[in-house]
Structure formats: C-alpha cells, structure tokens
Chains A and B, each alone.
Chain A
Amino acid sequence: MTRWRRLAPLAALGVVGCLASKGDVELLQTNMQSGFKAARDASAQAEAAQRANMDRVLSQISRETDSVRVLSVRLAKLQSDMQNDHYEMGRQLLQIQELTGQSQRRIQELRASLEDRAQSANAATPPDSAHPAPTGPGPGQLFQSSLDQLRRGSTSTARSGFEELLRTYPTYDDAPEAMVYIAETYAAERNQAAADSVYGLVIKQYPKSPKAATALYKQGLSFKAAGRPAAARDAFNRILREFPRSDEAVLAQGQLRALGR
C-alpha cells in the first residue's frame, strides 16, 4: 500500500504531464516534494519505533540469558555438591564397611583378652566349691592362639586348638571360620584330601555362612589343580548360585571362564 501511495504522484504526473501548463507543473512538483518528505518522515518514525522495539527485545533476551547463566552455574554447583556428597557418602559407607570388619576382629581379640584376664583372676582367687570357676581357655582365647600358631607355621598345634574350640564351644560365632582354618592347616601340610574333606564339612554344616563361599572356592581350586574340571565347575557354579554377591563369586566367574564354563 505504501509503495502504491508513493508511486501515485508519479502516475499522475505521467497522465497530466502532457496536458499541464507550466504553473500546473510547478504546483505538481511542490506537491510531490511535500509528499516525498511526509513519506520519508513516516518511514523514519517507523524505523525508529522498530529499532526501539528491537532494543527492548535484545535487552530482554540479554536479561534472560543472564538468568539462564546464573541458573546454569547454580545447577552445576548443585550437581558438583551432590556428586561430592555422593562420593563422600560412598567413602563413608566403605569406611563403615571396613570398620565393621575391623571391629569384628577387634571384638574377637578383645574377647580373647578378656578371657585371659578372667582366667588370671580366677587363678588368683581361692576356689569356691559351690560355684566352681570355669576351667580352661575361653573360645576367644582358643581361636586367637590357634590362629597365631597357624600364622607361625605350627599347623598341627593350630589344628588341635581349633578342634578343641569346636568341641568345647560348637555354637561359637566364628566356628565356620575356625573350621576353614582347620582345612587350611591340612592344606599347608599338603594334605589336600583332608583339606577338601574339611571344606566339605564347612559347606555342609554352615551352608548360609559367608565362609561356605570361601570353602567352596578353595575346594573348587583344589579340584581344578587335581585335574577334576567338572567337580571344579560344580563348586564354582554353586558359588554363583548361592553367594552371587560375594567376592568369591567374582573369582569363580574368572575360574569358570578359564575352564570354558
């Protein structure tokens, strides 16, 4: 529309140009000049308005971008904080896990130490025939001293101690571990048949104990070394079935891969 409006005077000039006198032409020129000026002014106004509008939009976008940037920084910081918290929680969980194991061992050592002291105290007090003091070492003492003997290489002494422990205190918490150590004494003496037999007892008597997984793995290794791959596979597969989250399960997977499943 605007373009047609601008071209109208030119068209009129074309039509009347042939018929108009000199005065008419001058008048027409004056009219055209004022028409052009008005059109230019209107265009400049429109452009200024458009520019102002654009500036407003750009300013708005800039403000929004800043907000997004701030949000993004905050989000990144939040993510980083969460990751750190997550890592720290994981680290603390791992430490708690390790401490639990350490505490159990410490409790075992403490128990042995307490039994030592109790025994010394009993020996120092005169005997009371009505309430006779328990004689002989306690389960903690027996466990600790037998383990010390095993670590020292005195396998038969260690075995006697663990056997006495199981005989005297069959319900002791660490009975499965004591039995594994009995098997270890045989293994150290290169009596693998006896060791395997005791590992079998651990699996049979304490099927839910984590030590059953250890016994199964050691038995599997023994079968493998003895050239009995099928028996070894059975033992390793049983670990995967019954103790899938144990360390022994990870080790058994490797063994099964080597054996070709």
Chain B
Amino acid sequence: MSTMTSRRALLALLCIASPLGAQDTTHAVRIGLTYDPGTKPGVVVLPSKGLGADSIRSIVQRDLDFGDRVSVMALEAGAASDASRANVPNWQMLARLGAAAAVQITSTAAGLHLAVYNVATRQTALIRDFPAPAMSEMRAWRAAVHGLSDELQESITGSRGTARTRVLFERTRRIWVVDSDGEQLASLTESGTAGSPAWHPGGGMITYSLLVPSQIVVQDLSNGRARTLASGNGVFISPVYLPDGSGVVYGHGVDDGVDLFTIALAGGSGRRLSVGRGSDNVQPTFSPDGRRIAFTSGRAGHPEIYTMDADGTNVDLLTPLEFGENAYRASPDWSPDGRSVAFQSRIGGIFQIMTIGLRDRALKQLTSDGQNEEPSWAPDGRHLVFVSNRSGVKQLWVLDVESGRTRQLTRGAAVRNPAWSPRLSSN
C-alpha cells in the first residue's frame, strides 16, 4: 500500500473513530478530517523497541500532547505491554480504550521505524522509516524524533506538528535557544548586549541587535559565525529577515525617532521604509505573502499597531484608536495563516496578549493570568509563545489559542523577546 493510500485510509478511519476519542474543548478544523468540534482522536503510543526505546516513546507522547490535536492515551506499564503483544497490537483492548490509532516506533540501525495502526479496521495504516543519528548526538537525535512526531501528527490529523521547532529568546543580555518541548537549552551568543532575536525563514540563521555598540548582527547557526550587517551612529534595533531571506528589516534612529529600514544580506546601505516624522517605528513583522508589514508606531502619541506595504506605502492603522485614550499596543506578530496579528495590549495597566483580525478587525483577548507580553506564533498558527510573569518570574509560556491550554517552556532567570522558529529540517 502506498504512503498516500495509507494516509487516506487512516484519515477515513479517524473520521469514523473520532467520536470515540477523548473529549476536549478544542474547536480546531482538522484538515483532512471531517470537522467534528469538541473531539480529538485518541492515540496510543505502544511501547517502543530498540535502543532508547523509553526515551523515544516519552518524547513522541509529549510531542503529540503538546500538539493539542490528538488525545494521547497514557497506559500503565502493564496495560501498555498488553496493548502490544508479540508484535501485534491488541485490537480488542485498543478498541475498548476508545483509541482511534496506535503507534509503534522501533529504533533501528538506520534510524527510526514508524508503524501506525488503524484500530477500527485492524490494519496497518502507515509504515515509514526515518533516518536518525546515533543517540550520542543528542540534539540531532532528538530533532529526528521530533521530526517523526510531526509527520505522525500530520498523518493522523492532516496538520503537521511543530515539535521540530525551536524558540529563540533573550536572557541576561544573551541570545538563547530551546527546543519547542523545553529541552536542549543553549546559549548562542557570548555575554554582551544582544537582544530582539529573529529567525531566518530557512531556520539556518538568526539575526539580533547589539546594544553596545548599537548594530544589527546576522549569525550562521551551522558554524556560529556572526557578522555585523548594519551599524553606525544612533540606535539599531528589532531586526527581522525578509520573507525570502535576502535581507533584514530593522529599526534605526539617530536623533529624532526611529524608522524602519531594509538592508540586503550582501550589505550596502539601509533604505528607509517608514516615515515616522519623529515617532518610534519598530518591531516589524511580515505577512506570510511578504507583501505587507505590521509594526509598532508611536505616531499617534502612543504605541499602536500599523500595517503598510512592504515598500513603505499605504500605511494603515490596524488597532482601534479612541480619541484621548493612552493605550499601549506593541510587539505584533503576523499569524502564519495571514488572517490575524497577535500583539500585547495594556488593559487596566497590565499587558495581555490579544489578536486582531485583518479582515474584520475583531479583537480577541487570549490571556488574563498575570502580565503577558511579546507573542510569537508557532508555524502551525495555533500556538503562541509569550513572556508571562504568572509564575513570579518572567518566563516563556506556550498557549494553544484553540483550547486556551498553556504550558511553561522555560525556567530560571527572567527572559524576554521570544521568536518561534519556522519548521526546521536540519541544524
């Protein structure tokens, strides 16, 4: 059976089996599945085999759980063994549990072997092999397992997961990176004055600003090599890559206000994009098609979110401005589906995460617990990472905007300015 056929068969199965799954408050439309609000297909990850079996199983279970699209059915050790005997799933038991699918991963000499079983038809729905390095290369090995999780989620729900992604952030004036599951924390810069990191669309490079001396830096993650892209008099802040990765847009100001400029990766001089006339114009974020930019501007007397064409024309106020109000709306991030922009808004003196629809300008408040700032979308357009002090110290938290479920991503010293990566293939 071909992979496509297997996938279709599995999806067809899940259409029927989904009501049996664990109940949840999600309202997501699962591409490839008949829309059935309030349900998530139940999935059992059977005990893995081979080297690092337990680690693989727990990583995949957690990845699927963090994806918020399936209900991972955790079984006790005995039950888990009963669910898979003599290399054959215990169909009766799985059906009794209400599982729509069962998954088995085997560590092989070449990498990882994935088998997905359709519990309703008692058939194998998908077989795939994934190359993976040795477990001793921990980061790359974990990345391979995350890649398997993402493909597994796609095969079940039609929507690819974001397990194989990472999050950049700022802590103690250095740039750090952490896997989307909170593991593999690493510092990417020496101690200094680095801030506002952003990913290259390909995921292989990052850009950030240095405060002293003020400059924009680009850094290759494969070898750690960094170089200054823009520097000189004044301040250089909040860089982001152009959607095609050929350059960077950043904030630059000398005496009077800060404006957005663009510069090619090859170098040269920056070209002005915004005309702030003395106001601060910072934190650019591109629409997915690369034709529009949302940014924070103080041109109305206080920070609001604006949009403009990528060439700097057709500037438009996005957030609703009321006369006389002293609002503070900042840190915009354009959603991957292009339909909304997430941002932080001061409500009753406390920042909260909100979204605004591009079409109807409908506002939606997503947080209310503590102070919540600086949202950044995951590539699935369903999860946001943001900074919150709800635990007492400013940490990164991940929010599923469909269900409202949150999880803490970092611990330790205070953090700021998170940036969720695109889907990563290697590095």
Query: Which A residues contact B (CB, under 8 angstroms)?
Result: 90-92, 94-99, 101-102, 105, 148, 151-153, 180, 188, 214, 217-218, 221, 247-248, 250-251, 254-255, 258
5 smallest CB-CB distances across A and B, nearest first, come from: A91-B301, A247-B275, A98-B300, A250-B275, A254-B272
Which of B101-109, B162-170, B209-217, B310-318 is near enough to bind chain A? B310-318
Known: A98-B317, A101-B317. A153 touches B289 (CB 8 A): yes
CB of B299 within 8 A of CB of A94, answer yes
Q: How far is the CA of A99 from the CA of B324 in the complex (A)?
A: 11
CB of A94 within 8 A of CB of B301, answer yes
Within 8 Å CB of B323, what residues of A?
92, 95-96, 99
CB of A98 within 8 A of CB of B314, answer no
Chain B at the A interface: SS class: loop
Tell me the minimal C-beta distance from A124 to chain B in angstroms: 25
Extra contacts, 4 of them, besides A248-B313, A254-B272 (Cβ < 8 A), are: A94-B299, A95-B321, A102-B320, A102-B321
Chain A at the B interface: SS class: helix
CB of A247 within 8 A of CB of B315, answer yes
CB of B311 within 8 A of CB of A218, answer yes
Size of the B side of the interface (Cβ < 8 Å), in residues, is 25
CB of B269 within 8 A of CB of A258, answer yes
Tell me the minimal C-beta distance from A128 to chain B in angstroms: 34
23 examples of A-B residue contacts, CB within 8 angstroms: A91-B301, A92-B324, A95-B301, A95-B323, A95-B324, A96-B323, A97-B300, A98-B299, A101-B316, A102-B320, A148-B359, A151-B358, A153-B338, A188-B289, A188-B291, A214-B313, A217-B313, A247-B312, A251-B272, A251-B311, A251-B312, A251-B313, A258-B269
Within 8 Å CB of A99, what residues of B?
321, 323
CB of B272 within 8 A of CB of A250, answer yes
Report how many A-B pairs have Cβ atoms within 8 Å: 64
B390 adjacent to chain A (CB < 8 Å):
no
Q: How far is the CA of A94 from the CA of B320 in the complex (A)?
A: 15
CB of A95 within 8 A of CB of B300, answer yes
B271 adjacent to chain A (CB < 8 Å):
yes
Query: Which B residues contact A (CB, under 8 angstroms)?
Result: 269, 271-273, 275, 289, 291, 299-301, 304, 311-317, 320-321, 323-324, 338, 358-359
Q: How far is the CA of A152 from the CA of B359 in the complex (A)?
A: 9
Q: How far is the CA of A102 from the CA of B304 in the complex (A)?
A: 13
CB of B358 within 8 A of CB of A251, answer no
Within 8 Å CB of B358, what residues of A?
151
CB of B321 within 8 A of CB of A255, answer no
CB of A151 within 8 A of CB of B359, answer yes
Known: A250-B272, A255-B271. A218 touches B313 (CB 8 A): yes
Within 8 Å CB of A217, what residues of B?
311, 313
Tell me the minimal C-beta distance from B322 to chain A in angstroms: 8
CB of A102 within 8 A of CB of B317, answer yes
CB of A251 within 8 A of CB of B275, answer yes
Q: How far is the CA of A255 from the CA of B358 in the complex (A)?
A: 30
Within 8 Å CB of A101, what residues of B?
316-317
CB of A221 within 8 A of CB of B311, answer yes
The residue on A at minimum CB distance from B312 is: A251
Within 8 Å CB of B272, what residues of A?
250-251, 254
Within 8 Å CB of B300, what residues of A?
91, 94-95, 97-98
The residue on A at minimum CB distance from B268 is: A258
Q: How far is the CA of A97 from the CA of B313 in the complex (A)?
A: 17
Q: How far is the CA of A79 from the CA of B321 in the complex (A)?
A: 30
The residue on A at minimum CB distance from B358 is: A151
Tell me the minimal C-beta distance from A179 to chain B in angstroms: 13
Within 8 Å CB of A105, what residues of B?
316
CB of A247 within 8 A of CB of B313, answer yes
**Best-buried of B271, B299, B314 by chain A (most CB within 10 Å):** B314
Within 8 Å CB of A95, what residues of B?
300-301, 321, 323-324
Within 8 Å CB of A92, what residues of B?
301, 323-324
